[in-house]
Amino acid sequence: MPPPVKAEEYYKGYLVNRDQMEGDPHFSMGCEFCHKGDETGVNKDAAHRGLVPRPSDDLKSCGLCHEQIAAKYSQSLHFTAAGLREGISRRFSAAELKKFDEKVFQQSCRSCHASCGDCHVKGPSVGGISTGLIKGHKFIRKDEGKTCAACHGGRIYPEYTGEYGGEPDIHYERGMLCMDCHQLPEFHGDGAMYKSMRMIPNRPDCKTCHKLGGEKKLYTRTAHDKHQGRVSCYGCHSSGSYRHCYNCHAGQNGTSKPGFLLGVNPRDPKTVTTLRLTPTVRDTFEKAGIRMEKFDTQPNYWDAPVHNVRKKTERTRSCDACHVERAGFLTNGRLIENGSRANERLIVVPKPISR
């Protein structure tokens, strides 16, 4: 996650560095051009009258100069937040989905969209808190640790850096950050409007860099041959516990706990992978009058591309970890209480190895 900001230093996120404004065309038209308000106001209230704190929420502001990028971005999942809708919509009847669109999506889920400034100017606001302007209002190309890490700081980023405890992802240790695997179209969009991130072409794939068949050790090559198409890379190479979220969203008292779970991939039932508990519970949308008529058709656990990859893990060191001890596998006893009936379909018992 971004370095924590002390309460007494929170104001620093609003400080502008006058020196770096020199020569940057973004500042040539003055503050009012983007932020409105009144540059001549003699106090905070007067100057902030009509202020637009996040000018890039209206993509036309950046689109004045960056026309093509803004046009594509208007269709991007980071802006539309459509992935959140797609994920939950399968639990709704048609009437419930209509109600969800009217009462919940725009007001709640969609409020999490990212605008241009959230990645290029200021740490995005999460729960009403932002780490503030980056480098005194410099317009930056990227700074994953201050931008991606804020929105994805609940699970993905701290997994990656090892801030949960446990080992950091090997790629992080080697100096790689988000955009070393995730390509620009995943952020800016490619002009198409996708319903889910899984529909975006050319998403990161371990095999792009780690070609199968090129393994140096016979043991490794055999393991890959045996498990290819049956177990995801994460299934063996996730180093251990990652975060699972319970009872969250429109419900109350959302909590998170570490854990490691292996089971059937609900999107690809022929493979076993790392699963993550998602926070939707039966009464999540009760306040909006949505009972989720199809709640039990969808599991509460979903395939998770866990960002804590290591070359050597308990499962790569010994076949027995899975095939004898069955460590980490989802079982009836580990399922959440009052969860979806579809959860049971994710339980798998690894076969013993004939020796």
Partner 1 sequence: MKRAVFLSPIFWLSLIILSLPAQAAAENNCLVCHTNDAVMKTLVKPPEIKSEGEG
Which residues contribute to the site for partner 1 (CB under 8 A)? 1, 7-8, 10-18, 30-31, 35, 37, 39-42, 44, 47, 112, 126-129, 150-156, 254, 256
Q: How far is the CB of 1 from partner 1 (least distance, A)?
A: 7
CB nearer partner 1, residue 4 or residue 175: 4
Q: Which two tokens stand for residue 267?
A: 């999107």
- Shortest gap between Cβ of 279 and partner 1 (angstroms)? 10
Q: What is the DSSP string of 99-162?
A: HHIIIIITTTGGGGPPPHHHHHTEEPPBTTB--EETTTT---S--TTTTHHHHTTTTHHHHHHT
Q: In angstroms, give the least distance from the CB of 318 to partner 1.
A: 32
With respect to partner 1, which residue has the nearer C-beta, 5 or 348? 5
Rounded to an integer, what distance in angstroms lies between the CA atom of residue 323 and that of residue 8?
53
Select 39 or 173, whichever has its Cβ closest to partner 1: 39
Rounded CA separation 175/204 (Å):
17
**CB 133 to partner 1: min, Å:** 9
Name which of 53, 28, 198, 194 is nearest 124 in CA terms.
53
- The answer to whether the CB of 164 falls within 8 A of the CB of 241 is yes
Residue reference for tokens 């046009």: 71
Which lies closer to partner 1 via its Cβ, residue 160 or residue 329?
160
Give the HSE-up count for residue 200: Cα atoms under 13 Å, Cβ half-sphere: 23
Q: How far is the CB of 350 from partner 1 (least distance, A)?
A: 30
Our CB check for partner 1 shows the closer of 13 and 63 to be: 13
